[in-house]
Amino acid sequence: MEIYRVILCSYVFSWIYILSSLPLTLSYRTTKVFNFAHPVFITYGAYVVIIVNEALGRRLPLATATLLAFVVGGLVSLINHLLLFKPLSYQRVSSNVYMVASMGLWFVYQYILYIACQILTRRYGANFLSYPTIEYEDVRFLQEALQLSSIPQYIITATLIGVAVGIALYVLFNKTMLGIALRGIADNATLAAVCGIPADRLVNLTWFLVGGITALSGVLWVNFSGSTTPDLGLNIVVDNFAAAFIGGLYSLPITAVASILLALVENMLLAVLNYYFGVQPTIRLAIVFGIVFAILIVRPPMGAGGGLPYRFTKRVIKK
């Protein structure tokens, strides 16, 4: 069995799921909005990179791609909040309304992107509807300088982006007042506001971070995959939501572990089942849902059901 290739796929997918699922959990626990349009940020992040790559004559550095995707993803997310979620919150609508509104938002963004791709394809000749792999110039330079050319570029890109985001989030939530304030809003927004925390501004910041970080998984995606289409977000939405649900839509560490678990299951387990038992790879989604159901039954993450998150349930059990 070609285990090396399977491990590489699992590694990259782990980072892609972590970068897209963590912000989903972060947005829900801070704002209590389950944003179905969340996968759009992945797609928009990827397409920012694609468009800039064409504009720069297919010589794009990772640093530029990361910065632009983060800013554009963050702004799209912030605009969503300011123009849709915030006005809805003033009307004190139920979570179902948010859900339906964000689904609608998803389709709107999806078709805006399709229209843009068709226009760009006709104008510039390159096929924006299905774009091939992008190699980053600065990463290539780094590979040559450090004699790492034998390692696929996407492994280096995934490691650089993933570790940087991981450290940044750890520092933000554990070492800064801003992070403590964000956690305060997540636990009890009213109490946080009473304590003088500017909840409105911090919610805006949260949405910006959510969009920005999710868009980075798009930056990684275009470096890894052989084809990027406007359906990118749609195609990984199941894994994305599954990881966040396993994390109870509350726990960032459990969401990260769930992302790794799903990536391993999808790649390693499927490869083993196919190689040793002749099971066709077409059962992928069934396996993902099987894992989700098993976890929900054996150890239900209560945050997902509107109940208490993990850390509180643990305390209750201890008592």
Partner 1 sequence: MPTSKKFIAFMVVFLIIGLAIGYGIGFYVGGLSAPQVGVTTERTYTLGVTFALSGAVSSVCVQWEPIVKMAIDDLNNLTKSMGLNIVFKPYILDDASTPDGALKNVQTLYAAGIRIVIGPSLSSQVKAVKAFSDANKLIIIAPCSNSPALAIPDDYIFRTQPSALGESKALATLAVQEGLKSVVSFHINDEFCNVFAQYFKKFFEESGGTVLYDIAYQPGQADYGSDVASLASWVSKLRPDAIFYCGYDTDGANVLTHAADEPALRGVRWLTVEGFYGAPEVLTPKVVDFARAVNMVGIRPVPIVNPLYDEFVERLKKYGAVPTLCSENVYDAVMIAGLAVIRTGGTSDPDVLRRAILEVAKTYHGPGGWGLFDENGDRLQASFRLWTMSFVNGTYQYVDIGYITDSSIVIEKTP
Contact between 232 and partner 1 per CB under 8 A: yes
Residue of the chain from 116, 129, 172, 308 that contacts partner 1 (CB under 8 A) = 129
Residue 177's Cα: distance from chain center in Å? Answer: 25
Query: What minimum distance in Å lies between the beta carbon of 221 and partner 1?
Result: 8
Task: Give the type of residue at 280.
Answer: Q
Q: Closer to partner 1 at the Cβ: 8 or 71?
A: 8
Contact 40, 76 (CB under 8 A): yes
Q: In the window 42-81, what residues touch partner 1 (CB under 8 A)?
A: none
Contact between 148 and partner 1 per CB under 8 A: no
Task: Give the type of residue at 248.
Answer: G
Residue of the chain from 163, 285, 293, 314 that contacts partner 1 (CB under 8 A) = 285
Contact between 149 and partner 1 per CB under 8 A: no
Residue of the chain from 95, 127, 174, 176 that contacts partner 1 (CB under 8 A) = 127
The closest of 24, 92, 245, 66 to 164, measured between CA atoms, is 66
Residue of the chain from 159, 204, 274, 313 that contacts partner 1 (CB under 8 A) = 274
Residues counted in the chain: 319
Cβ neighbours of residue 205 under 8 Å, at least 6 residues apart?
178, 182
Query: What minimum distance in Å lies between the beta carbon of 83 and partner 1?
Result: 25
Residue of the chain from 9, 60, 76, 242 that contacts partner 1 (CB under 8 A) = 9
- The DSSP line for 192-241 is HHHTT--HHHHHHHHHHHHHHHHHHHHHHHHHH-S-B-TTHHHHHHHHHH
> CA–CA separation, 113 vs 118, rounded Å?
9
> CA–CA separation, 290 vs 269, rounded Å?
13
The closest of 179, 195, 178 to 252, measured between CA atoms, is 179
Contact between 284 and partner 1 per CB under 8 A: yes
Q: Closer to partner 1 at the Cβ: 70 or 131?
A: 131
Cβ–Cβ contacts within 10 Å for residue 218, how many?
30
Query: What minimum distance in Å lies between the beta carbon of 129 and partner 1?
Result: 5
Contact 217, 40 (CB under 8 A): no
Pick the piece of the chain touching partner 1 (CB under 8 A) from 196-204, 280-288, 296-304, 309-317.
Answer: 280-288
Contact between 231 and partner 1 per CB under 8 A: yes
> CA–CA separation, 50 vs 65, rounded Å?
9
Residue of the chain from 67, 86, 132, 172 that contacts partner 1 (CB under 8 A) = 132
Contact between 266 and partner 1 per CB under 8 A: yes
Contact between 277 and partner 1 per CB under 8 A: no
Residues contributing to the site for partner 1 (CB under 8 A): 1-2, 5-6, 8-9, 12-13, 111, 114, 118, 121-122, 126-127, 129-133, 152, 221, 224-227, 229-232, 235-236, 266-267, 270-271, 274-275, 280-282, 284-285
